[in-house]
Structure 1
């Protein structure tokens, strides 16, 4: 049974805290899941840098992107959403994700021009989801 809990309003990065560490390993050498490590890095960076004040970090078990690893869902009301994955869990990935999320938060529809994408998110987009009540034209 799924239990829903309220999340912060506005733009958020939802990290899968049960994701595999990598394509080859479920956990790292210390027994930690990659998703849990990535979620912790995202939370720490978001809390330490006012540049990310417009983006909340949430986490939940399993985004059902199990063919990939270290996945996040970027979402905001009325904006196109994205699922990104295949990150190495840590500070570099967290910074790239939050840098992109800050640009996403500032955008009107969720589309960030490619020339503004941080290098660390390129090649990590898995899906694009339309906002409720809309499809992309």
Structure 2
């Protein structure tokens, strides 16, 4: 049931997420989550700044009402679940830009001034790393 992945900064995208709040798939029949995974991988491959951020995927993050969700995580850092994205290049670039700041942060907190516009309003939850709670 679990698949081992590298333990480092990562964006884990739900590859089965709905395309939008009212559509499961886009006009081509593709789920929004799969489109988001493809957009993240394409953006990652196009910019060396994103090399240290893994793009991982799994079915269902159980945030179905939020559609196009991702989990941002790294060892010993607060994690975040973000959603309500329109899957594509703009969202993927914003997520990866935020992830670069996140990976460089001490505990996972990125100053608001460093947040790309494309992630503002998309945070759903934050999760403490094992053995810690956040302040």
TM-score range for the pair, normalised by the shorter chain length: over 0.9
Residue number in structure 2 paired with 1:133: 131
Residue number in structure 2 paired with 1:74: 72
Residue number in structure 2 paired with 1:95: 93
How many pairs are equivalent? 135
Distance in 2, matches of 1:60 and 1:136, equals 26
Which structure 2 residues correspond to residues 12-91 of structure 1 after superposition, within 5 A?
Answer: 12-91=10-89
Using structure 2 for the length normalisation, give the TM-score. 0.98
Q: Which runs of 5+ in 2 are unaligned?
A: none
Q: Point out 4+ residue stretches in structure 1 off by more than 2 angstroms.
A: none
Distance in 1, matches of 2:97 and 2:62, equals 24
Distance in 2, matches of 1:27 and 1:8, equals 30
Q: Which runs of 5+ in 1 are unaligned?
A: none
Give the CA deviation at 1:67. Answer: 1.1
Distance in 1, matches of 2:66 and 2:79, equals 18
- Summarize deviations over 1:73-122 as a string: whole Å, max 9, x none: 00000000000000000000000000000000000100000010000000
Which piece of structure 1 moves more, 45-54 or 64-73? 45-54
Distance in 2, matches of 1:97 and 1:7, equals 20
RMSD: 0.6
Distance in 1, matches of 2:134 and 2:126, equals 10
Aligned to 1:10, what secondary structure does the other structure show? Answer: coil
Using structure 1 for the length normalisation, give the TM-score. 0.97
Distance in 1, matches of 2:90 and 2:52, equals 20
